[in-house]
Amino acid sequence: MRSRRRGFRLVILPSLAFGIGLPLIGLSTPAAAESVPFNCYILPDENDVASINLTNSLASNASCIVSCKFATVRDGNNPQIICAKPVAAGQAIEMCRLPSGGDKMVKLIEGHAECTK
């Protein structure tokens, strides 16, 4: 009995390479995020809930994200909320609300918001 080795050859079809490669050429420029106005505040009648608002100041509809971190009366309990959604051009909306988990919120520690076309 004689053993036969079966080999294989890697064959790249030119049409397949162009079909995959050419569309990717136009995707080389990443989208740039731009900072936008936002407001993270503690609701006056509910000291354990924060409201997160954002304005899409871009000239077109965009995907927006906002992050806010708050201090509470308990050391080490700094709830943070991150929310994202599409926002129409020029629109100011409430992005989300954050309950503190039972502790009274006292102040905003940090926040950031940006939109991408």
pLDDT at 16: 44
pLDDT at 55: 97
- Asked if residue 16 belongs to a domain, the reply is no
- Cβ neighbours of residue 1 closer than 8 Å, sequence gap 6 or more: none
pLDDT at 108: 95
- Asked if residue 86 belongs to a domain, the reply is yes
pLDDT at 7: 53
d(CA 25, CA 76): 48
pLDDT at 71: 92
d(CA 69, CA 78): 6
Q: What is the pLDDT along the chain (117 residues), one digit of tens a residue?
A: 555 555 545 444 444 444 555 455 555 566 789 999 999 999 988 778 899 999 999 999 999 999 999 999 998 889 999 999 999 999 999 999 988 878 889 999 999 999 999
pTM attached to this predicted model: 0.70
Q: In what order do the strands lie in the sheet with 49-55?
A: 38-42, 49-55, 92-99
- Asked if residue 12 belongs to a domain, the reply is no
Q: In what order do the strands lie in the sheet with 80-87?
A: 33-35, 105-116, 62-72, 80-87
- Asked if residue 60 belongs to a domain, the reply is yes
Among positive and negative, which fits the CA dihedral 66, 69, 52, 90?
negative
- Asked if residue 51 belongs to a domain, the reply is yes
What CATH code is carried by the domain that includes residue 107? 2.60.40
- Asked if residue 24 belongs to a domain, the reply is no
Domain count within the chain = 1
- Asked if residue 9 belongs to a domain, the reply is no
- Asked if residue 38 belongs to a domain, the reply is yes
Query: What residues make up the domain containing 75?
Result: 33-116
pLDDT at 12: 46
d(CA 48, CA 82): 17
